[in-house]
């Protein structure tokens, strides 16, 4: 892809090069202004979040750009605590009058509720391990850069007699949290995505990548991969529903297992809405499954602190198939007499916390090796419209999409009409036979994770659709 002149090789955040975002002193200045105004109105404790995004997205369909957008937003969110009561008010107006009105709105809301004896005082100053995910090459990407890359992908589609649709996005964001007890944390990152669907009537296939550094995204390679698979999928046969050995590409794994991780919130277990109730410490999954939450992993993104500004800890969630640990906000940690892990959402909320930086241990196989070892099975590109059917057995339903292929005697022999699945995630993770090394994967149903491709036996397809 084409990168803006002068951008290549400059990785790291430099003040003069990110004019779109507020300077660090401006960010801090907003927080200090709010804390000063709140103190002058007699608020006992105040917490301020400042979030800023400058995002652009180029969207294409029918081999042409049809939408092309840019947004810039700064949001200030203020939580006050007075007399054991807390509430939050948010604005995107940064003048002092508006900030003062927002403080007063928060106070007024809090005044309306009963006193909460379990409300904790705000945390004090914390120490954070730094992470650097701001890449100047991404921040410098222009609409013209994105349009040229899209043009190449569309030209490829036209040359192959196909129709391309997708997005190429890039942007930068920063977040800061500070409170009246001296806590202050800040984080900025860049992000970029390229996603493409190649359609060759009546088939389609898909490829997508997501990285902080746009130079790790190769739009033309993604377009070629989607194009080849779409061509392979033109002629389909219909198979009977049933249990099949499946090879799930990383995006399919990600979108499916993503629904499991809200159950690792201590609050979900305390509320008895988690599938891990009565199952912690037991051999729930196969012994080859180990999963941790690790915001510092080199393939991860996201702030190294949570909604209260607590530092995120690495947490081993599943060790050799046994759920070992949950993640804790300060409140759920106090209830459970544990230490907070830095995974809490901004207060007040009823959900508590969740792990957001999942890393699977993976294996040493590959999709190619999985194919070679399969007598009869299905290769799954992507899953779609996944929803929870049974919250305790964690049965999920959804569809295959954009390329479902029959594998016979070690090779792909053709395409298959799409299936609906009804599959327990718990049962699935007991039946993982092979895994590739974990990679940064991106889909559409869950947030990005570091997951492997998986070969799973007895995956349950319940019905077939018409294409």
Nearer to another protein, 169 or 190 (CB): 169
Candidate list 388, 410, 433, 458; residue touching another protein; CB under 8 A = 388
Contact assessment for residue 65 and residue 183, using Cβ atoms and an 8 Å cutoff = no
Question: How many Å apart are CA 292 and CA 39, to the nearest integer?
Answer: 41
Question: How many Å apart are CA 30 and CA 280, to the nearest integer?
Answer: 43
> Smallest gap, in angstroms, from Cβ of residue 365 to another protein?
29
SS3 64: strand
User: In the window 251-280, what residues touch another protein (CB under 8 A)?
Assistant: 271-273, 277
Question: How many Å apart are CA 305 and CA 321, to the nearest integer?
Answer: 28
> Smallest gap, in angstroms, from Cβ of residue 208 to another protein?
9
Contact assessment for residue 418 and residue 407, using Cβ atoms and an 8 Å cutoff = no
336 touches another protein (CB under 8 A): no
Nearer to another protein, 292 or 460 (CB): 460
**Binding track over 130-169 against another protein, x by CB under 8 A:** ------------xxx-xxx-xx--x--------x-xxx-x
Nearer to another protein, 120 or 464 (CB): 464
> Smallest gap, in angstroms, from Cβ of residue 372 to another protein?
30
Question: How many Å apart are CA 305 and CA 122, to the nearest integer?
Answer: 14
Nearer to another protein, 352 or 363 (CB): 352
Compute φ and ψ for 206, nearest 5 degrees: -150, 150
SS3 187: strand
User: In the window 197-256, what residues touch another protein (CB under 8 A)?
Assistant: 197, 199, 204, 206, 242
User: In the window 68-127, what residues touch another protein (CB under 8 A)?
Assistant: 68-75, 77, 86-93, 105, 108-110, 112-114, 116, 118
Burial of 98-115, coded b for 16+ CB within 10 Å and e otherwise, reads ebbebbbbbbebbeeeee
395 touches another protein (CB under 8 A): yes
Q: What is the DSSP letter of 227?
A: H
Contact assessment for residue 133 and residue 189, using Cβ atoms and an 8 Å cutoff = yes
Question: How many Å apart are CA 127 and CA 311, to the nearest integer?
Answer: 7
Nearer to another protein, 380 or 434 (CB): 380
**Binding track over 346-385 against another protein, x by CB under 8 A:** --xxx---------------------------------xx
> Smallest gap, in angstroms, from Cβ of residue 350 to another protein?
3
Nearer to another protein, 360 or 419 (CB): 419
> Smallest gap, in angstroms, from Cβ of residue 292 to another protein?
26
Question: How many Å apart are CA 247 and CA 382, to the nearest integer?
Answer: 11
| Two tokens, residue 257 | 């297992």
Handedness of CA 89, 44, 175, 312 (dihedral sign): negative
Nearer to another protein, 96 or 393 (CB): 393
Candidate list 128, 184, 296, 392; residue touching another protein; CB under 8 A = 392
User: In the window 19-38, what residues touch another protein (CB under 8 A)?
Assistant: none
> Smallest gap, in angstroms, from Cβ of residue 233 to another protein?
14
Compute φ and ψ for 367, nearest 5 degrees: -60, -40
Question: How many Å apart are CA 176 and CA 22, to the nearest integer?
Answer: 11
Question: How many Å apart are CA 462 and CA 442, to the nearest integer?
Answer: 26
- Number of amino acids touching another protein (CB under 8 A): 94
Choices 299-307, 320-328, 361-369, 418-426 (CB under 8 A): range interacting with another protein: 418-426
Compute φ and ψ for 264, nearest 5 degrees: -85, 5
Candidate list 196, 233, 432, 438; residue touching another protein; CB under 8 A = 196
Nearer to another protein, 89 or 367 (CB): 89
């Amino acid at each position: 892809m084409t990168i803006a002149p002068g951008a290549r090789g400059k990785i790291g955040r430099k003040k003069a090069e990110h004019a779109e975002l507020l300077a660090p002193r401006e960010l801090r200045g907003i927080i200090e202004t709010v804390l000063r105004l709140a103190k002058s109105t007699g608020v006992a404790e105040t917490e301020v979040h400042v979030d800023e995004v400058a995002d652009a997205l180029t969207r294409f369909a029918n081999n042409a750009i049809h939408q092309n957008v840019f947004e810039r937003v700064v949001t200030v969110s203020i939580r006050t605590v007075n007399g054991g009561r807390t509430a939050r008010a948010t604005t995107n107006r940064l003048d002092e009058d508006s900030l003062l009105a927002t403080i007063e709105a928060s106070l007024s809301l809090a005044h309306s509720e009963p006193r909460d004896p379990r409300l904790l005082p705000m945390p004090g100053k914390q120490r954070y391990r730094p992470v650097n995910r701001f890449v100047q090459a991404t921040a410098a990407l222009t609409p013209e850069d994105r349009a040229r890359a899209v043009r190449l992908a569309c030209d490829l589609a036209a040359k192959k007699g196909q129709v391309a649709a997708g997005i190429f996005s890039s942007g930068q964001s920063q977040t800061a949290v500070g409170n009246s007890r001296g806590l202050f944390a800040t984080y900025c990152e860049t992000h970029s995505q390229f996603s493409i669907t190649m359609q060759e009537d009546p088939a389609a296939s898909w490829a997508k990548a997501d990285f902080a550094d746009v130079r790790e995204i190769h739009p033309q390679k993604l377009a070629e991969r989607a194009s080849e698979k779409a061509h392979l999928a033109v002629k389909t046969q219909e198979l009977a529903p049933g249990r099949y050995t499946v090879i799930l590409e990383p995006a399919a794994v990600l979108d499916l297992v993503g629904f499991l991780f809200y159950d690792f919130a201590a609050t979900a277990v305390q509320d008895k809405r988690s599938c891990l109730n009565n199952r912690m410490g037991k051999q729930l999954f196969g012994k080859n499954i180990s999963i941790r939450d690790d915001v510092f992993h080199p393939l991860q993104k996201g702030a190294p602190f949570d909604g209260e500004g607590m530092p995120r800890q690495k947490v081993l969630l599943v060790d050799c198939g046994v759920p070992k640990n949950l993640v804790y906000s300060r409140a759920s940690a106090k209830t459970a007499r544990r230490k907070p892990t830095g995974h809490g959402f901004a207060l007040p909320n009823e959900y508590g916390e969740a792990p957001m930086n999942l890393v699977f241990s993976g294996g040493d196989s590959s999709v190619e090796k999985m194919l070679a070892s399969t007598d009869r099975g299905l290769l799954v590109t992507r899953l779609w419209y996944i929803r929870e059917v049974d919250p305790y057995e964690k049965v999920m339903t959804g569809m295959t999409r954009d390329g479902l292929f029959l594998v016979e005697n070690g090779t792909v022999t053709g395409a298959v009409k799409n299936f609906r699945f009804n599959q327990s995630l718990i049962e699935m993770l007991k039946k993982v036979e092979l895994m590739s090394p974990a990679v940064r994967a991106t889909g559409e149903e869950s947030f990005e994770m570091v997951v492997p491709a998986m070969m799973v036996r007895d995956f349950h397809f319940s019905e077939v659709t018409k294409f």
